[in-house]
Amino acid sequence: MHAARPQHPPFSPREQRLLRSLTDSGWGFYALLGGLLAVIAWGIIAYTVQLRYGLVVTFLRDNFMWGVYITNFVFFIGVSHVGALMSAILRITGAEWRRPITRMAEAITFASLLMGALMPFVDMGRPDRVLNLLLHGRLQSPVLWDMLSITTYLTGSTLFLYVPMIPDIALLRERFAAGPAWRRRLYTVLAMGWKGTEAQRHHLERIMGVMAILIIPIAISVHTVVSWIFGMTLRAGWNSTIFGPYFVSGALFSGAAAVVTAMAAFRWAYHLEDYITEVHFRRMGYLVIALGMIYAYFTFAEYLTPAYKMAAAERGYLSAVFSGQFARLFWFTQVGGVLLPVLLLTVPRIAWVPRLARVPILRPVPALATIATSLLVLLLLPAVLPQTAALGGFAVVRQPPPWIIAALGGWLFLTLLPLFRQRPIAAAVVASLLVNVGAWLKRFVIIVPTLQYPFLPIQRAPAGWAIYRPTWVEWSITAGALAGFVLVYLLFSKVFPIVSIWETREEGHQPALASPPAGVHGGAADAPAP
Amino acid sequence: MRLFGLPGAGGDPALAYAAEPNTRTGPGEAGRHWVMVIDLARCDGCRECTRACTAMHFVPSGQEWIRVYEMRDHATGNAYWLPRPCMQCDNPPCVKVCPVSATWKREDGIVMQDTSRCIGCRFCIAACPYQARGFNWVQPAESEEQRRQPYDMEWNTRHFKGTTEKCIFCPGLVKEGKLPACVSACPMGAIYFGDQAEDAVTNSQGETIRFSELVRENAGYRLLEELGTEPRVYYLPPRKPLYPTPPAEPAPAMVGGHR
Amino acid sequence: MRRLRNLFGCGFLVVALLALPAEGAAPARVLLRAQAPADGTVQVTATVVDARGAPMAEVPLVFKARTAFGWLTLRETATDRDGTARVMFPSGYSPEEVAIEAGDEGQVRAVISIGRRKAVPPLVRPGRDALRAVSLQPGFISPYPVPLQVTVFSLILGGIWSVYGYVVWLLLRIRREDSHTSQFRQDALRNP
C-alpha cells in the first residue's frame, strides 16, 4: 500500500548519513560478518564437544565448580546494565546531549543481555533437563530469582529500546518502500502504523515516561540478584553484604565504558562525526570517571573490611589476591582497569600536559622504542627460558618483578599523555577498553580465588584439580559469546538506525536543518523528547 | 513453576507421592533423627571408610563421599585425621540454593540427592562449606551389574553425567537396620551412628552409647559451627590420640577444624 | 502417647521370661512389668526371683533399651529389698523393647516389648510444617513455595509485568490511531 504512494521525499542528506549503515554495506562489513560467524561457529563446535564429553573438557572441577562461564555471565549482565539505566536516567533528567547515543546504549543492553542469559545454560551440566526449572522450580533459589529478573529485564529493555524507535521505523517503512521485501514487511509490522499524529505522540511519550522510570529499579535489581548468586553462599570472599551494590557499581562502570567503545566504533565505521562529537565523549568520560570512583570506593570497602581483620577463613584468598598468585591479575584490574582509565580521561585536560612533551625522556619516539624493546625482552625471556608453572592461568608476565612493570607503565603513560591530549577520543577509547578488560578480569578474580581457598583445605584432589586454568573449550565459547554479542549489535545497526533520527532532529542537531519541522508536532518538538 | 495446587507446607503424603511417581525414594523414617559422631582420637587415617563407601555406592573416580583430611588447627597443635562425610546439615546451604529441589531435607534429617532431577548448575557445590559435594564431570564408568540396577536414590548406585552427588548416610542400609557402609567398615570403631531421638549411637564394634553423654563428656563439637549450618555430624576432639599422627608431608592445612 | 495408653490402659501387662535354670540362691527368673500411668511416662519394673520364686535383693541388674542399631545400656543398678528395680521413661519417649540382664555375669536375661515405633507414613519431600521440627529455616529449605515469598514476588513481578501490559496496550492504541485518523495523514516525519 505504501508503494502506491510515490510522493515520498528522497533521503535528505542528513538521513542519508544516518541511514548509511542500513543502505551501504562495504567489504568491511562482510569481512567482519564472516569473521564473527566463524568465531561463533568455532564456539558452537566447542560447545558440541562439551555436550558430547561433558564438562570435563573444561577445567572446572569439584573445587572450581564455576569459572569462565560464570565470569562471562556476570560480565555480560554487567555490560548490559548501563544501556537502559543510563538512557533512562538521562531521559528523566532531560539531558539533551543524550539523544544521539541513547539508542546505541540501549542496544548494548539488548545484545549483551542475550549473551549473558545464555551463559548459565552453557555452564549447566544437564542442559537437557532445563525444563526442570519450570517443572520443579524453587522460588527460594537465587537461580530462579535470576531467571525471573533477567526475563523481566530483557522484556523491559526490549520495550525500552523498541518504543522510541517506532517513529524511525515508520520513516524506514516509507523510505524503504521499494527495498527488499523482508525489510518492508519488518518495518511495516514494527512501525505500528505510526503516522506521528498528536495522539500517537502522546501515547509514545507516556510509554517512555513510564518505562524510563520502571527500567531503573529493574536494572538495578538484575545485577543485585546476579551478585547474590555469590552473596548467598557462605564462602569467604563471597559472603559479603555489599555484593549487591558492589556488583551494580562495577556493572555501571563497565557498561558506561562499553558505550564509549561502541560510540567510537560507530562514529568511525558509519561516519557519524557530526552526531557523536567530542562533547559526547567528554560527557560520557565524566560519567565513566564518576562511576569508576564509585566502583573504586566499593572495591576498597569490600576488601578493606576483611583484610583489616584477616579472619582465618579469609586469609587464603586475600593473600592470594593481594600478594599471591592472583596478585598480578588483581592489581592489573585495579591499576589498569580503574585508575589508569580514570587518569586517561582526566589528566589530558590538565594545562601542563603539553609541556611534558618537552621533557627529553618523554619524547614519543625514543621513549616508545625503549619501552617496547624492554617489554619485548621481558615477555620473550620467560618464553625462551624453561616453562615455569603458570599460576592461575593468567600469568601474562611471569618473570619480571612488579616494580619494573610499574615503572615502564608509568613511563609509557607519561609519554602518551601529550598524545592523548591531542586525541581525546582515542584516550576515551583506550580507557574504555581497559575498563572492560579489567572488568572481565575482576569478575574472574572475584570468582576463582575464593574457590581456591575453601573452608576445608583442598586435599586429595586428583592431579590438576587444585588449580584452575581455563581450557580451549572455555576460551572458544567465551570468544563465541563475545562474537555473538558483536554480531547482534552489528545486525541491529544494519536493520535499524543506530542514531535516533527523529530525536536528533528535535534537538535541532544539524545546523543545516536548524528550522524546526513544521507540522502537527511542531509544539512537541520544543519539549524534550520522551 | 510449581506454585499452587500441590502440597504446600506440610503437604499431604498421598498427594506428594502422586506428584512424584518416578521417585523411588524411601520416604525416610518419621521420628528418626540420624546423627553421626566421629571420634577423632580413634581415627588412624586408614581410609577404610572411604574405600567401603566408594565400593558400596560405586562412587565415581575423583569423588570421595567421605574424605579423610589431614588437619592441624594451629602451628603448635597436633596433626590429626578428619573424616568428612556429608554433614546432613539442619540448616543446609545446599538445599536452600537448589533451583529444582534435587536436593532436599528429609524428616529423618538426611539431606537427599536426586540425581535424576539435578540440572547440574553446581550452585549446591558452591554453597557447601564442607566441600562435601562432587560432580560427575564425565559419564562415570559403570559395570554391567550396576547398569542393570534400577535408579534408586536411596542406594545411589547409578550415576549420571553432569549431576551432583554426595554422601546420604546410606538410607538403604539404614532402613534394613544396618549401619552405613563407612561406619561398619571403620576398624577402629571411630564412627558412631544412630538416632538422636533415641539418644543412642552405635559403632562398628557394637558399642552402643548414649549420644548426648558421648558428646557432652568428650567436648564434642561440630565442624564450622560458626557458620550456623547445624550439622548432624559431631566430632570428638583428637585428645590423646590412639594412632600415629598424619605424616608431615603434605603439610596439613591450618584451616578449619574446631575453633 | 495414645498408642501407649491403648496398650496399657487396662492396667499392667506382664511379660516374664525365664532364661537360665539355677540352683540355690542364684537368680532364676526376671519378672518384667511395664506401667503406663496417665501422665504419659512409662515405667518398667523388674523383679528378680530365685528358683523357688522368692524375690532376691542386691542382685546386680542392667537395663538395656533396643535402639536402631544396638542395645543401649540404660541403667546399671541392683535390686532392692523387694527384689525389684525400675527404670522410668519420660513422657513422649520410650524404646521399642527393654532388656534386663541380671546376675553378676548378666546370666539371667529377659526382654519386654513396650510398643512398636509409629507407623506414620512419612513425607517424601516434607514441606515447611514437617521441617519446622528439623530445621531453623523451614521455609528456605522447603521444596514447596512459601506463601509470603510467593506473595512478595507476585506483587513485584506482577506490578512490573502489568506495567508492561499497559505499555503494550498503549502500543496497540498507537496502532489503532492509524485507522482512526486516516484523514489526518500528516506525515510527521516529513523533512523540511
Give the model confidence (pLDDT) of A269-299 as tens digits.
Answer: 888 888 888 888 988 899 999 999 999 999 9
Question: Around Cβ C188, how many Cβ atoms within 10 Å?
Answer: 22
Residues in A 119-148 with any Cβ partner in B closer than 8 A: 120, 123-126, 129-130, 132-144
How far is Cα A436 from Cα A482, in angstroms, rounded to an integer?
A: 12
Cα–Cα distance for residue pair A39/A33, rounded to 1 Å: 10
Helices A472-495 and A68-93 cross at an angle (nearest 10°) of 30
Cα separation, B2 vs B14, in Å, equals: 17
**C125 and B30 in contact by Cβ < 8 A?**
no
The answer to whether residue B104 neighbours chain A at the CB level (below 8 Å) is: no
Please report all neighbours of A, defined by 3+ CB atom pairs within 8 A.
B, C
Closest CA relative to residue C30, chosen from C14, C11, C7:
C14
State the number of CA atoms in the 13 A half-sphere of A232 facing the CB: 23
Model confidence over B94-149: pLDDT tens digits?
A: 999 999 989 999 888 899 998 889 999 999 999 999 999 999 999 988 888 888 87
**Cβ contact, residue pair B123, A141, below 8 Å:** yes
Q: How many Å is the maximal CA-CA distance in chain C?
A: 129
Strands ordered across the beta sheet of B208-210: B208-210, B200-202, B191-195, B34-39, B233-236
CB C59 within 8 A of CB C83: yes
In chain A, residues with a C-beta closer than 8 Å to the C-beta of C181 are: 195, 197, 199
Beta strands in C36-174 (DSSP E): 42-50, 60-66, 71-78, 84-89, 97-102, 108-113
Q: Which residues pair with C146 in a beta bridge?
A: none
| Residue C109: count of CB within 10 angstroms of its CB | 17
Residue A397 in grid coordinates: 608476565
Closest-CA residue to A465 (of B45, B84, B139, B134): B134
Grid cell for residue B11: 503437604
Q: Once rounded to an integer, what is the mean pLDDT over residues C142-155?
A: 92
- pLDDT tens digit sequence for C91-147: 767 777 888 888 877 777 888 887 666 555 556 778 888 888 888 888 899 888 999
How far is Cα A184 from Cα A349, in angstroms, rounded to an integer? 48
Q: Do C126 and B95 touch (CB under 8 A)?
A: no
Q: Is B93 left (phi over 0), alpha (psi -120 to 50) or beta?
A: alpha
Enumerate residue ranges in chain B where pLDDT < 50.
1-26, 249-250, 252, 254-259
How many Å lie between the alpha carbon of A358 and the closest alpha carbon of chain C? Answer: 52
When scoring C189, C190, C191 by the number of chain A Cβ atoms within 10 A, the one with the most, hence best to mutate, is: C189
| pLDDT of res. B243 | 78
Q: What is the DSSP letter of A8?
A: P
Element spanning A104, H or E: helix A102-123
pLDDT attached to residue B106: 86
Q: In what order do the strands lie in the sheet with C97-102?
A: C71-78, C60-66, C97-102, C108-113
**Predicted local confidence at residue A334, as pLDDT:** 92
Residue (of A441, A332, A73) closest to A227 by Cα position: A73
End-to-end CA distance of chain B: 42
**pLDDT value, residue A355:** 79
Q: DSSP letters of B196-225?
A: TTTTEEE-TT--EEEHHHHHHHTT-B-TTG
d(CA C120, nearest CA chain A) in Å: 26
Query: With an 8 Å Cβ cutoff, are A520 and C188 in contact?
Result: yes
ipTM: 0.84
Of B133, B139, B255, the CB nearest to A455: B255
- Rounded to an integer, what is the distance from CA B163 to the centroid of its chain? 17
C15 pLDDT band, cuts 50/70/90, is: very low
Task: State the Cα–Cα distance between residues A90 and A251, nearest whole angstrom.
Answer: 17
Pairwise pLDDT comparison (C150 vs C192), residue with the higher score? C150
Task: Give yes or no for a contact between B91 and B228, defined as CB atoms under 8 angstroms apart.
Answer: yes
3-state secondary structure at position C112: strand
| Best to test chain A binding among B54, B222, B255, B258 (most A CBs inside 10 Å) | B255
What is the secondary structure of A356-408 as a DSSP string? HTTSGGG-HHHHHHHHHHHHHHHHHHHHHSPPPP-GGG--SS-SS-HHHHHHH
Distances (CA, A) of A130 to A124, A136, B127, B159, B235: 9, 10, 21, 19, 39
Within its chain, how far is the Cα of A457 from the centroid?
36
Question: Which amino acid does the sequence have at B259?
Answer: R
The reply to whether omega before B180 is within 30° of 0 (cis) is no
Size of interface A-B (CB pairs under 8 A): 159
Q: How far is CA A489 from the centre of its chain?
A: 12
Q: How many CB atoms lie within 10 A of CB A214?
A: 21
Q: B10–C128: do the CB atoms touch at under 8 Å? A: yes
Taking an 8 Å cut-off on Cβ atoms, the answer to whether A203 and C139 are in contact is: no
User: ∠B259-B185-B148 over CA atoms, to 5°?
Assistant: 115
DSSP lists the bridge partners of residue C99 as C64, C111
| Residue C49, C-alpha cell as written in the block | 526371683
Q: Cβ C153–A15 below 8 Å, yes or no?
A: no
| Least Cα separation, residue B177 to chain A (angstroms) | 32
What single-letter amino acid sits at B205? Answer: Q
Predicted TM-score (pTM) of the model is 0.85
The Cα A65–Cα A75 span in angstroms is 18
Q: Does B162 touch chain A (CB under 8 A)?
A: yes
Is A459's CB within 8 Å of B101's CB?
Answer: no
Identify whether the C-beta of residue B165 lies closer than 8 Å to the C-beta of residue B159.
yes
Window 490-509 of A: residues touching C by CB (8 A cutoff) are 502
- Cβ contacts below 8 Å, chain B against chain C, sum to 138
Chain B residues lying within 8 Å of C131, measured CB to CB: 105, 107
Top pLDDT among C17 and A404 is at A404
Asked if B16 and C124 come within 8 Å (Cβ–Cβ), the reply is yes
Q: Grid coordinates standing for A419?
A: 598524545
- Report yes or no: A213 and A88 within 8 Å, Cβ to Cβ: yes
Cell of A50: 562439551
Task: Find all residues with CB under 8 Å of A476, minimum gap 6, and list them.
Answer: A42, A43, A45, A46
Instruction: Flag residues of chain A having pLDDT under 50.
Output: 1-7, 388-389, 391-397, 508-530
Backbone angles phi, psi at A310, to 5 degrees: 50, 50
Q: Residue A343 belongs to what H/E stretch?
A: helix A340-346
Q: Is C49 helix (H, G, I), strand (E, B) or coil?
A: strand
Least Cα distance to A517 among A14, A1, A5, A4 occurs for: A14
pLDDT at A1: 40
Interchain proximity B96–A232, CB inside 8 Å: yes
Measured between alpha carbons, how far is B135 from A55 in angstroms, rounded to an integer?
10
HSE-CB at A17 with a 13 A cutoff on CA atoms is 15
- Element (DSSP H or E) covering residue A106: helix A102-123
Give B26-68 as a DSSP string: ----TT--EEEEEETTT-----HHHHHHHHHHTPPTT--SSEE
Name the neighbours of B, counting chains with at least 3 Cβ pairs within 8 A.
Answer: A, C
Residue C22 predicted with pLDDT over 70? no
Whole-number Cα distances in Å, A371 to A51, A360, A405, A410, A437:
45, 14, 10, 10, 22
Task: Please check the confidence at residue C1 and state whether its pLDDT lies above 70.
Answer: no
